[in-house]
Amino acid sequence: MSEPGDAAVSSGSGDGRVVVDLRGIRKEFPGVVACDGANLTVRAGTIHALLGENGAGKTSLVNVLSGVYLPDDGEIWVHGRQRQFHSPADAIAAGIGMVHQEFRLVPTLTVFENVVLGSAPRYLDMGQIIERVAHLAATYSLQTDPARPVWQLSVGERQRVEILKALWRDADVLVLDEPTAVLTPAEAADLGLTLRSMADRGRSVIYISHKLDEVLSVCDEATVLRNGVTVAQPRSLAGIDRSDLAEMMVGETATEIQRPTDQPSGDVVLDLEGISALSDRGLPALHSVDIDVRAGEIVGVAGVSGNGQRELAEAIAGLRPTTAGTMQLAEVDITGTSPRARSRAGLAYVPEDRLGVGLAPTMSVVDNAVVRSYRSMRRRMMLDLRRCEDFCKRLVERFGVQVGRLHEPISALSGGNLQRLLLGRELTGEPKVLVAAQPTRGLDVAGIAAIQSQIVAQRAAGVGVLLISEDLDELLALSDRLIVMYEGQVAARMDPTQVSRADVGAAMAGTASA
Amino acid sequence: MTEPTHAPLHTVARGRARWHRVLVRPVLQRRARVAPAAQAIAFVIGIVLALIAGALLLWGSGNDPVTVYQRMAESSLGGFDALSRTLLRATPLAIAGLAVAVAGSMGLWNIGAEGQMMAGATAAAGFAMVAGDLPGPVLIVLMLVAGAVGGVVLVLGPALARAYLGVSEIITTLMLVEVAIRIVEWLKVGPWKDPESFGFAQISPLPDKASLPGLFGQVHIGVLFAVALLLAFWLAVSRTAWGYELRMAGSSPATARYAGISLQRKVLTALLLSGGLAGLAGAIELSGTATRLEPGLSSGYGFAGIIVAALALMRPSGVAVVAVVFGAVLRGGQSIQTLGVTSSIATILQAMILIGALVAAVLLNYRVRWVRPVGSGADGDAAENPASAGASGV
């Protein structure tokens, strides 16, 4: 339902003028297509939610709009004129203001200095500039003291300075990337008021968030992205509830997945008891999570991203310290042990970031293939390169990885082949437990099928699998048991054969019924 | 409700962006990967372009470029003796370059190799004073060991701070350069002052037996150490589990952590090794070319090592090549001063050649794309697809 954005063809209502219209944006990175024909239509005077799971292409799309990336294909229309942004400066000049997740402020400078940095009027004295900044802040109820140095400010205040910066540059479209992730509830409420007052004055806001409640209370319209494609553009959020949004985000995948045949499960091979952990920002992200996985079963973990799934996977892998609880792997206590010790104890781990965590992008295919086994490839002090190469060749053959040259940087491979290699590498050690985080995200149909059949094969071989995914169909089809995470806790435990997508959606949105 | 107005700012900002929409303009794009052969070619092209620009400089300053370049080439590469003078300079450059490259392969910048060279030379000289009774070969070997230890000692603080506290090694190592040089100055006028030099403050000369034996021409056996160290490092990085971990930690820290490699330990070893190598370079320079320890002993070789390592893309093979080229440029730059080229012009010429090589090495990572403005053509289709034209060889 792409609406042409020309001023002439704007929609019926008076202030429904289209300010930003992104049409068929495509942006490809090595190994992954971030946006593949994404559309975004933003009207004047509205707060527009941009929704989608991690990796759905939200950030890439707004980076195209704000001049950070040049799109490979597609059109950018702003105020009815087609634009091409070669740098953020071009986008700022066109009235697009961006507030990034990581603030870009100079801590030693004052608030007003940061606001006017790079675009200070030449013929005004400091007093007048401060006055103007203060006036601008007051207009949009952005409480700040223009004369204070930024290093003294709280995170919420710093965000206000970022917004002021955009307003000072006369942005009539403000893009906020997960603005409330760093805010206290009170600050988040203030931010909502500020954004509303901007919309009331005819400006537009593009609001990226995972928090569905917030989106419903703050935003007027929404665009939902999935796998880089726009899948829904509700013109009004009235009458839409959280589970509707959650369902739009996870969507239905076209792949036909065969439910694995029933089989009796064995002993508990992974046992988490009361596991708690902190997020990267040091806030509690997991609250006493209990999960057990038996040999020969797949336990699915569902949830809107940002509800503790990443932290859960990292805590099990030993990459994130736990603050409470115990962990057992095949009856060996692995609480607090190193990643290497857990790998040796029989843990295979496919991380969410396959390139960058699971695989080293600039190193060769061979180097990446032996990440788990290079220590056993030593001959005296030297690494036996012949054996490494043989190992890599066998891996490539067994898991059907399509590679060019083995000594080429691995980033040359496609997403599906990267994942085949990564999963294959993790499985060669004959693991007892496989933790796979978003193993099929962003893959093409063939890649998804290959990875899923590997996971099912592991189950048949008696491996206990913890499958963390945002693809509901995948979870419902593959899991023997389903766990739903909400705000760092296990919100629901379900039998995937007995529940509907809507049930899971409700649990993901925190309105648990089961 | 009045909106704050700042119209002038507004128009300036929009005006600045206007030419983007009018002109077909080149855009630099990062290449996915660079062929190794292209690196060598770019290096040569960069130097040739710099030589052409340098010819204009020489011609403008009243010199004959042909004669000057002839002399440069002859004095640095023409014959046995010339080559030995080039290698004499290439030796400390190679070891210091390797020192920087060891840290660089982990993504660390040991900017203070100069200081560690001084610390190494100081430790070696101190050892020679204390243990002057030892027979020559034993003394020399132990001096070199002392030199490496001296370098390690100077880099120990920055390395620990970087590994465990995350303090930038760039600043700490750089600041310690001054400290190392001032310590030598203090030794010169204080405890190590030569009692036989009367009023003139200088450090006592080293005994003759503490000098590295010559090899041929001007070269001492230090050049063999340099070759051996480069080979050893190349082997260690590409053929050992230790080197594998180092490469992994340097290129993708998150993957290294995932693989169970301790990043802190790798940072520590890379910086300590870097400091040790720089200290060794200082000791070799002292024992090979100097008669006594002086504050100016390392004469910028440590800083030049940064350029060598950067040009070599942190690779040992590259360090060897770049160090020899750099040595030849240094030697050539000195010799043309006998033709009447002033030392400032000679220095500018040297700098131009190095900048030419450096720029070529950086530009190699990009290719040029010509981007047409939006809406200029009759068909919008051509406007949106940037035409790629003429990827330059450099």
Of A89, A132, A412, the CB nearest to B17: A89
CA B163/CA B263 separation, integer angstroms: 8
CB contact under 8 A, A132 and B240: no
* Owner of token pair 């041929």: B216
- pLDDT for res A29: 74
User: How many residues make up chain B in this entry?
Assistant: 394
Distance of CA B352 to the CA centre of its chain: 15
* A123–chain B nearest CA distance, Å: 10
- pLDDT for res B23: 61
Of A82, A93, A338, the CB nearest to B14: A93
Rg of chain A over all Cα atoms, to the nearest angstrom: 25
**Residue type present at position B367:** R
Are A103 and A117 in contact by the 8 Å Cβ rule? The answer is no
A379 at B interface, C-beta within 8 A: no
User: Domain boundaries in chain A?
Assistant: 7-240, 255-346+431-514, 360-429
Average confidence score pLDDT of chain A: 85
- pLDDT for res A5: 36
For chain B, percent of residues with pLDDT exceeding 70: 84
Indicate whether B125 belongs to any domain: yes
Residue B165 is given by DSSP the state I
CA distances from A243 to A226, A486, A505, B11, B346 (A): 16, 13, 5, 46, 74
- pLDDT for res B158: 95
- pLDDT for res B190: 82
Tens of pLDDT, residue by residue over B271-318, are 999 999 999 999 999 998 888 888 888 888 999 999 899 888 888 888
CA A27/CA A63 separation, integer angstroms: 10
Same fold, A7-240 and A255-346+431-514: yes
Nearest to B319 by CA among B235, B227, B186: B227
CB contact under 8 A, B258 and A357: yes
Indicate whether B70 belongs to any domain: no
Task: Please name the residues between 166 and 205 in chain A that touch chain B, using a CB distance below 8 Å.
Answer: 168-170, 201
Q: Token pair for residue A326?
A: 């115990």
**Residue type present at position B317:** S
Judged against a pLDDT cut of 70, whether residue B371 lies above it is answered with no
CB contact under 8 A, A122 and B8: yes
Of B16, B251, B258, the CB nearest to A319: B258
Of A287-291, A293-297, A299-303, B353-357, give the lowest mean pLDDT range.
Answer: B353-357
Tell me the three state secondary structure of residue A491: strand
Are A5 and A19 in contact by the 8 Å Cβ rule? The answer is no
**Quick one: pLDDT band at residue B376, thresholds 50, 70, 90?**
very low
CA A171/CA B258 separation, integer angstroms: 42
Are B120 and B282 in contact by the 8 Å Cβ rule? The answer is yes
* A98–chain B nearest CA distance, Å: 16
- pLDDT for res B354: 85
Indicate whether B19 belongs to any domain: no
Judged against a pLDDT cut of 70, whether residue B38 lies above it is answered with yes
CB contact under 8 A, B248 and A371: yes
Indicate whether B4 belongs to any domain: no
* B308–chain A nearest CA distance, Å: 22
- Stretch (H or E) spanning A477: helix A472-478
CA A180/CA A176 separation, integer angstroms: 9
Residues of B in contact with A201 (CB under 8 A): 1, 3
CA B322/CA B357 separation, integer angstroms: 10
CA B259/CA A353 separation, integer angstroms: 14
Tens of pLDDT, residue by residue over A430-441, are 899 999 998 987
CB contact under 8 A, A139 and B3: yes
Judged against a pLDDT cut of 60, whether residue A502 lies above it is answered with yes
Q: Report the sign of the C-alpha dihedral through residues A254, A255, A256, A259, in that order.
A: negative
For chain A, percent of residues with pLDDT exceeding 70: 92
CA dihedral A447, A451, A456, A458 (to 10 degrees): 150
**Quick one: pLDDT band at residue A252, thresholds 50, 70, 90?**
low
Judged against a pLDDT cut of 80, whether residue A39 lies above it is answered with yes
Are A112 and A129 in contact by the 8 Å Cβ rule? The answer is yes
- Rounded mean pLDDT of A480-503? 89
Indicate whether B185 belongs to any domain: yes
Tens of pLDDT, residue by residue over B161-183, are 999 998 999 999 999 999 999 99
Residue B195's domain comprises 89-322
* Owner of token pair 């002392």: B146
* B117–chain A nearest CA distance, Å: 29
> For residue A291, what are the β-bridge partners?
A272
Are A62 and A50 in contact by the 8 Å Cβ rule? The answer is yes
CB contact under 8 A, A356 and B252: yes
DSSP string, A93-132: HTTEEEE-SS----TTSBHHHHHHTT---TT--HHHHHHH
DSSP string, A366-411: HHHHTTTTGGGGEETTEE-HHHHHHHHHHHHHHTT---S-TTSBGG
Residues of A in contact with B373 (CB under 8 A): 84
Residue A258 is given by DSSP the state P
Tens of pLDDT, residue by residue over B107-123, are 899 999 999 999 999 99
Nearest to B95 by CA among B286, B280, B306: B280
**Residue type present at position A40:** L
Tens of pLDDT, residue by residue over A95-108, are 999 988 778 888 88
* Owner of token pair 């969410």: A352
Rg of chain B over all Cα atoms, to the nearest angstrom: 25
Indicate whether B339 belongs to any domain: no
Q: Token pair for residue B320?
A: 């060897």
Task: Please name the residues between 57 and 116 in chain A that touch chain B, using a CB distance below 8 Å.
Answer: 70, 73-75, 82-84, 86, 89-90, 92-94
Q: Give how many domains chain B has, as a whole number.
A: 1
- pLDDT for res A4: 39
For chain A, percent of residues with pLDDT exceeding 90: 39
Are B246 and B81 in contact by the 8 Å Cβ rule? The answer is no
CB contact under 8 A, B13 and A168: no
CB contact under 8 A, A358 and B6: no
Cβ contacts of A508 within 8 Å, gap of 6 or more: A243, A246, A250, A302, A303, A304, A307, A484, A486, A491
* Owner of token pair 């509800």: A307
Average confidence score pLDDT of chain B: 83
**Region A7-240: CATH code:** 3.40.50.300
CA A250/CA A231 separation, integer angstroms: 10
* Owner of token pair 């207009």: A139
CA dihedral A390, A395, A400, A406 (to 10 degrees): -50
* A511–chain B nearest CA distance, Å: 36
Residue B161 is given by DSSP the state I
Tens of pLDDT, residue by residue over A158-185, are 889 999 999 988 899 999 988 887 676 6
CA A3/CA A222 separation, integer angstroms: 14
Q: Is B239 left (phi over 0), alpha (psi -120 to 50) or beta?
A: alpha
CATH class for the region spanning A255-346+431-514? alpha beta
Q: In 3-state terms, chain B is what percent helix, strand and coil (to 5)? A: 70, 5, 25
Residues of B in contact with A354 (CB under 8 A): none
Q: What is the largest CA-CA distance in chain B?
A: 92
> For residue A301, what are the β-bridge partners?
A468, A483
* Owner of token pair 């000594």: A407
Q: Report the sign of the C-alpha dihedral through residues A432, A436, A440, A443, in that order.
A: negative
Tell me the three state secondary structure of residue B28: strand
Indicate whether B57 belongs to any domain: no
Tens of pLDDT, residue by residue over A271-284, are 999 999 998 878 88
